[in-house]
């Protein structure tokens, strides 16, 4: 009978185990495992860290060290269904990223790092997204929005509602 306290589903465990043959050690699977959990839960709670550690034959502290090294993973609360990264590096900055970010946050009624009350959107800062020639850029989940104007932000918000 499944343990009701467990967070990792059978599918998550299978997806993590599928990485084992592709890496030289189980420890090397830590980051892919965290991404698998995050993709499902939109955060990686402590209980998930404990279960990932068990699977990888590591201590929870080792997995937690990796998790906290990257700002990417949230632990306390889930990020929104859409996680929008607004680039603030130099090319985007010079082409109006600050105004885009301010407008985005104003219209969504949140600050950078926060999630809307309906859980649909999280807005965050990003460093260079690797598309400087299209500055300013927003990465919303897997979609890169290029040469973003305030009107584009309005359209993006409309599509999220
Ligand atoms: S500076 Fe924004 S994509 Fe490179």
Per-residue pLDDT tens digits for 28-65: 999 999 999 999 999 999 999 999 999 999 999 999 99
| Cα–Cα distance for residue pair 41/150, rounded to 1 Å | 31
Residue whose tokens read 């343990």 = 3
Are residue 45 and residue 93 in the same domain, yes or no?
A: no
Question: Nearest-CA neighbor of 85 among 112, 116, 119?
Answer: 112
| CATH number of the domain residue 145 falls in | 3.40.30.10
| Cα–Cα distance for residue pair 76/49, rounded to 1 Å | 12
Are residue 65 and residue 92 in the same domain, yes or no?
A: no
Are residue 112 and residue 50 in the same domain, yes or no?
A: no
Q: Which atom of ligand 1 is nearest to the CA of 87?
A: 2
| Cα–Cα distance for residue pair 135/94, rounded to 1 Å | 8
Mean predicted confidence (pLDDT) in 65-69: 96
In a domain, 4, yes or no: no
In a domain, 120, yes or no: yes
pLDDT score recorded for residue 4 = 74
Q: Using a 6 Å cutoff on CB, does residue 87 contact ligand 1?
A: yes
Q: How far from the centroid of its chain's Cα atoms is residue 28's Cα?
A: 20
Domain encompassing residue 48: 10-69
pLDDT bracket for residue 2 (50, 70, 90): low
Are residue 60 and residue 95 in the same domain, yes or no?
A: no
pLDDT bracket for residue 152 (50, 70, 90): very high
- Spacing, Cα 103 to ligand 1 middle (Å): 18
In this structure, the number of other CB atoms found within 10 A of the CB of residue 77 comes to 11
């Amino acid at each position: 009978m499944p343990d009701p306290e467990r967070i990792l589903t059978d599918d998550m465990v299978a997806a993590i185990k599928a990485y084992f043959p592709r890496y030289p050690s189980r420890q090397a699977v830590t980051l892919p495992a965290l991404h698998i959990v995050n993709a499902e839960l939109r955060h990686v709670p402590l209980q998930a860290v404990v279960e990932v550690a068990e699977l990888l034959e590591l201590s929870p502290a080792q997995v937690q060290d990796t998790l906290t090294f990257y700002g990417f993973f949230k632990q306390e609360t889930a990020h929104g269904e859409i996680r929008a990264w607004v680039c603030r590096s130099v090319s985007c900055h010079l082409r109006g990223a600050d105004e885009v970010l301010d407008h985005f946050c104003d219209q969504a009624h949140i600050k950078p790092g926060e999630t809307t009350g309906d859980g649909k959107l999280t807005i965050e800062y990003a460093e260079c997204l690797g598309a400087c020639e299209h500055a300013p850029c927003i990465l919303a989940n897997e979609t890169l929005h290029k040469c973003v104007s305030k009107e584009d932000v309005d359209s993006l918000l409309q599509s999220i509602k």
